[in-house]
Structure 1
Amino acid sequence: MTSTEPRPARIARLATGMPASDGAGVKLTRVIGTPQLDYLDPFLMLDEFGTDRPQDYLAGFPDHPHRGFETVTYMLDGRMRHRDNHGNEGVLVPGSVQWMTAGRGLVHSEMPEQQEGRMRGFQLWVNLPARDKLCEPKYQEFAPERIPVATPAAGVSVKVIAGEVDGAVGPIAQPATSPVYLDIALDEGATWTYALPVGHAGFVYAYEGAVEVGGQPVATRQLGVLDGELVSLRATSTARLLLIAGRPLREPVARYGPFVMNTREQLQQAFADFQAGRF
């Protein structure tokens, strides 16, 4: 019998991001999607990008295809313009979020809207269940003012991108995986406990400062894979971290480059459809 009570969360494993580049040579840190942590169902990839050097980001991400999953882009600093071949276009500004469902296929670009200054943020890839992999593509963009902020404890501030904290509900909903996506700021010594939905797979990523999860340390730029749902946080320094979780799909994953399907044959069909201009 499956328990319906949340279990105290512990860190099952730690992973550190690896330098990578994508698009036309944009430098980034890959945290999920590495030999250390290939994927964490339903999450396929997590990239952190952040630099003050324009030469690291100016080339951007020119036109490229996707099929079979969703991308979530969360900007902390800088401006990025999105365009796709289904007529969607928008500019991500600091604090904004883009949730793009590639579904059966699209071609899009993500290009900087700045020539200098800091570009910083995250992109997360979320898998789609087999029944939804060929759905119609969808694009959602949420300005900073659409992202509610909760203050659930002293010294704790939470931007709620997906999920709910003290009645503040994030604008993103995806029934297939019921994601939770929180950007948490903690003053040094601050503590907070949050209950994820029972059965969700989740992780914390400390991108500034350091925290303890159930008494276990997570250092700056470390990802801690969670085992359990009752996440007890304590900041050992002023800290910011992502707390992300979702319902596992428990389906086969076949992926290559920008396509994520369930079988090798479906991957081959994705390449054929793209080359034939059917995206």
Structure 2
Amino acid sequence: MKAKIPEYVFEGSVTYDGAGVKLRRMFGSQRTTAITDPFLLMDMFGSDNRADYDNGFPWHPHRGIETITYQIKGKTFHEDSEGHRGIIAPGEIQWMTAGSGIFHEEMPKPIYYGEENKYRERNDSNAGIQLWLNMPASSKMADPAYRSIRSDQIPQISDDYGNRIRIVAGTVNRVSGALNENFQYDLMQRIDPYYVEILMEPDTRTSLSVPEGHRAIMAIVEGSIRVNGSTFNEKNVAVLSKEGTDIFIDSQANSRLIFLAGKPLNEPIAWYGPIVMNTRDQLIQAFNELQEGKFVKNRNPVWQ
């Protein structure tokens, strides 16, 4: 057994995306892909002011990636170009395979939006995380698919300290995540992704293990923790070494963490805007198809 060592820390920077949504981009550029491979981008969004998010993310395309949206506060309305619609509520996740190409929009709103009579207290908070996971070259043109995961579908375990561990993908203490058997292609074999939420009590400890060679990332959404001896605070993202298997986490406050891990793809990346391919020619082809109205290859994406 060998501990993974923290190698990098991202503090992120405030930026605006979509139609003016204020967010903190923790990482996400051509400069960071070698460090975070197979993960491409992480945005933390959150505000008590509707003006910071109300205009949302209108219709836009994606190809070649997985987009994973986790809702913490408020809710997000989703619709795609094929007529699928849904709402991501607090504690829920939508895992979208863009694959060969799809258009969609995501519109964050306060929890009471459209249901004013259901909520007595007006709360304008909306918060969550969007993650982009790269797709292997062999699967970038796979058919699009969605997985809408309710909170009660995510397996949850507790450790001896009462810390809660919610497993979206990967295996923790022999408990498999909600998505482990629900992929259309070779993502599980090539990347073996982990997506785990950890809710920790103050002055407690928990631990995780992942296979040797996996890149591991710890995003501190709330609170303050020590990871294998190094301290990280709220809105830090710690990138751990590929070498080693074990991660020991000590909380210093009530803390909410998102733990990610996966086997690096070590493939070339050609990335512009919402499209991530492997070569410049593939990227040019994608944008030519956008202009020609030939971008969407599958007119009936799977909703799982």
Flag whether TM exceeds 0.5 (same fold).
yes
SS in 1 for 2:91: coil
**Contact kept in structure 2, 1:15 and 1:36, CA below 8 Å:** no
Residues 35 and 207 of structure 1: is their aligned pair in 2 closer, same or farther, counting only changes over 3 Å?
farther
Structure 2 regions of 5+ residues with no counterpart? 114-122, 181-186, 297-304
User: Normalising to structure 2: TM-score of the pair?
Assistant: 0.86
**Match in the other structure for 1:237:** 253
**Match in the other structure for 1:196:** 210
Q: Aligned pair count?
A: 274
Task: Determine which structure has the larger strand proportion and give its number.
Answer: 1
Which letter does structure 1 place at the counterpart of 2:285? Q
**Contact kept in structure 2, 1:43 and 1:126, CA below 8 Å:** yes
**Contact kept in structure 2, 1:7 and 1:230, CA below 8 Å:** yes
1:226 is aligned to 2:251: no
Q: Hey, what's the Cα distance between the residues in 2 that align with 1:112 and 1:207?
A: 18
Bigger Cα displacement from structure 2, 83-92 vs 261-270 = 83-92
1:115-264 matched pairs, under 5 angstroms: 115=113, 117-173=124-180, 174-175=187-188, 176-227=190-241, 228-264=244-280
**Match in the other structure for 2:97:** 101
Bigger Cα displacement from structure 2, 51-60 vs 172-181 = 172-181
Q: How far off its partner does 1:247 sit?
A: 1.2
Q: How far off its partner does 1:165 sit?
A: 2.2
**Match in the other structure for 1:20:** 15
Show CA shifts across 1:67-120 (max 9, x none): 011100000111111111133221100000000000110000011344561111
Show CA shifts across 1:131-155 (max 9, x none): 1011111111011111121102313
SS in 2 for 1:251: coil
**Contact kept in structure 2, 1:100 and 1:139, CA below 8 Å:** yes
User: Normalising to structure 1: TM-score of the pair?
Assistant: 0.94
1:73-92 matched pairs, under 5 angstroms: 73-92=69-88
Q: Hey, what's the Cα distance between the residues in 1 that align with 2:160 and 2:15?
A: 37
Identity %: 38
Q: Hey, what's the Cα distance between the residues in 2 that align with 1:168 and 1:12?
A: 28
Which letter does structure 1 place at the counterpart of 2:44? E
Q: Hey, what's the Cα distance between the residues in 2 that align with 1:277 and 1:163?
A: 37
Show CA shifts across 1:138-187 (max 9, x none): 11101111112110231311111111223432112341321111111111
Q: Hey, what's the Cα distance between the residues in 2 that align with 1:79 and 1:182?
A: 20
SS in 2 for 1:153: coil
**Contact kept in structure 1, 2:26 and 2:42, CA below 8 Å:** yes
Q: How far off its partner does 1:36 sit?
A: 7.7
Residues 198 and 86 of structure 1: is their aligned pair in 2 closer, same or farther, counting only changes over 3 Å?
farther
Structure 1 segments (4+ residues) deviating >3 Å: 34-39, 113-116
Which letter does structure 2 place at the counterpart of 1:147? I
Q: Hey, what's the Cα distance between the residues in 1 that align with 2:91 and 2:84?
A: 20
Which letter does structure 2 place at the counterpart of 1:136? D
